[in-house]
A and B are shown apart, each in its own frame.
Chain A
Amino acid sequence: MNAHSIGGLFALNLLLLAVGVTILYALRGWVSWTELARLSGVAYMLGVAATSVVWVFELIVGISFGLVTIIGTGAVLAVAASFAGHRVGHRLPGIRVGMKIPRLSFVSAIFAAATIVYLEAAFRAARLAGLYEFDAWAFWVPKAKAIYYFGGLDEQFFRELINQPYPPLVPALEAVTFHFMGAPDVVTVHLQFWFLFVGFTAAVVGLLSGRVPPLFLWPSLLLMLVTPHVGGHFYHPTADFLIDEFFAIAALLIALWLIDRKDWQLLAAGILLAAVVLTKREGYAFGASVIVAALVVTARERRAAWPKLIAVGIVAAAAALPWRIFLAVRGLGGGGPEAGGTGLLSNLDRAWPSLRLAVSTLFDYHLWLLVTPLAVVAILAAFAAGARVLPLYTTLVLVFAVVAFTYSTWAFPSLGISREPALNPIVRLTGEVVLLTPALVPLLLASAWRRVPPVVEDA
């Protein structure tokens, strides 16, 4: 609970940003330093995703998880990515190239200022937040403490905790923050989730600024930020918001690939989706939803598009394999639904209430304000203007999300038909759509405005 812990977190996040910058260099490079600055949020999220996935693999194979491993992993990734970037012909621009200050409209400035002040205020809230969220103190943080103290996935401890099959990306990341803070500081650890949220926000802005009008980008972003549930929960040390952040950026990158067909966008999405499936169990459904949606909208060009999309899906799914094998070897069970498969039929009476709960939660003004209606309006506007690919892609992702939310209640008869967090995780689940909205709505509105959003300067 001190400045030393906060300093440690800054150091950790600089490390993650540095790794991410090298990954961005390997994937696409940059033509100017201004462009790198614009994409620094994407770089940071890529750094978090790639490094965390490798940390999880190291834990699974039993490598002692201390500071040497943690920093060494980042260093190896950075060197390998730099080497790969150089091999594929990417070069750093000269120091003077692109150092000029970017043009900023007054609209962008006003909303950017509001966003920055919001995040600064959230920093204060996160800095002294207590460990009160049930899932956080019941198993996410205890798992992280066990990794911190024992240097790995202690067999007995992980067997006795609840939710053993949950993937360990978040506990690994929290254990890393404990190492950088110098102690398992369960208060300051909230700040790490603030950093992640800032990275997510910066990634959305970086990928869309210059491509969509500021009036489409900033208000939808600010609307998401000020929703009651986001404001009060994004810094809790659980996996709920992190999976949504990874997923939203991955879904945005795939949407951009549908427009631009730049391979780096798919590769980056693949890295983020690998992190998605290792963050929470619903990551499998989330990942599948964007890949299937993209497959459907590219059906006419399936020869060119499908192999790439399927490859991304396979890579992301493969990232979960070591963890599934680990669970099987330790006999921890896969954590499947209570009433999956034919069990759904014997619980048919739960189908309609589950669907109604999912939809009504998405549209609950007191949780998410008007975020979901905004997404629906943007889709309809894009369709009305004659656009097809983006609105269909977004529609499919949203429909698949509702199906997944419905299934999550229907297939678990022990869950109440309720938004009460102690009875049903539906509110946390629906965050997926809410964080996706500021990523996709600006693109949809731009496509409604002038059909095809322009490509911005690109490597």
Chain B
Amino acid sequence: MTRRFLPIALVFAAAIAYPVGVVSGGAPHFPARSDCVHPATKDGEIDAVFGHFDKRSDAVARLRVVLGRGFTGSKIEGDGCGRLKVVVHGIPTLAVGRELAAEARKVGLGVTLERAAP
């Protein structure tokens, strides 16, 4: 009886041990759209992002507002996760980015500083 069940037990043990071992390190991660947003934490290629949008019409509306309030050079781009973002590229340092964000806040615009996509 033992000889009959031992090999089967071995297969089941291996089949269960691997996923248990993996899950013991934490639940499986399911990528979300937020995974395409990488906050800038150091100087370098930084983007100022005026929002991520599901619909192109919403992105276009925000771009008009952003351009109308003086942030020339803003444009619409895909964010790599199926959404669109209104973005200004080429901010060299976090300090410059924070100044830009402060100016945006003065005119009622929210900005996030994000690491530019490679």
A residues lining the B interface (CB < 8 Å) = 1-3, 101, 103-106, 108-110, 112-114, 116-117, 120-121, 124, 127-128, 187
Contacts and interface: CB of A to CB of B under 8 A. Distances in A.
B7 A106 contact: yes
Contact of A113 (B6, B10, B32): B10
Contacts of A128: 31
Interface residues of B, number: 18
A101 B19 CA distance: 24
Given A114-B14, A117-B15, A101 B4 contact: yes
Interface in B71-92: none
B8 interface: yes
B11 interface: yes
Interface string B7-36: 110110111011100100000101110000
A104 B8 contact: yes
Contacts of A110: 10
A103 B4 CA distance: 6
A121 B18 contact: yes
Contacts of B32: 1-2
Contacts of A105: 7
Contacts of A106: 6-7, 10
Contacts of B17: 117
A307 to B, nearest CB: 43
Contacts of B14: 113-114, 116-117
A321 B36 CA distance: 46
A105 B10 CA distance: 11
Contact of B11 (A1, A2, A103, A112): A112
A116 B11 contact: yes
Contacts of B10: 106, 109-110, 113
B7 A109 contact: yes
A103 B3 CA distance: 9
Given A101-B8, A109-B8, 9 more contacts: A101-B5, A105-B7, A109-B6, A109-B11, A112-B11, A114-B14, A116-B11, A116-B18, A117-B18
A2 B5 CA distance: 37
B62 to A, nearest CB: 25
Contacts of B31: 1, 128, 187
A121 B21 CA distance: 11
| Ranked 3 nearest A-B pairs via Cβ | A109-B7, A113-B14, A104-B7
A110 to B, nearest CB: 7
B44 to A, nearest CB: 24
Given A1-B30, A2-B30, A113 B15 contact: yes
Contacts of B11: 104, 109, 112-113, 116
A183 to B, nearest CB: 9
A330 to B, nearest CB: 32
21 contacts: A1-B30, A1-B32, A2-B30, A2-B32, A101-B5, A101-B8, A103-B4, A106-B10, A108-B7, A109-B6, A109-B7, A109-B10, A113-B11, A113-B13, A114-B14, A116-B18, A117-B14, A120-B18, A120-B19, A124-B22, A187-B31
Contacts of B22: 124
A184 to B, nearest CB: 10
A76 B6 CA distance: 43
A191 to B, nearest CB: 13
Contacts of A2: 30, 32
Contacts of A121: 18
B5 to A, nearest CB: 8
Contacts of B19: 120
A404 to B, nearest CB: 38
A170 B11 CA distance: 33
Nearest to A107: B7
Among B5, B18, B28, the most chain A Cβ lie within 10 Å of the Cβ of B18
B16 to A, nearest CB: 10
Among B6, B7, B15, the most chain A Cβ lie within 10 Å of the Cβ of B7
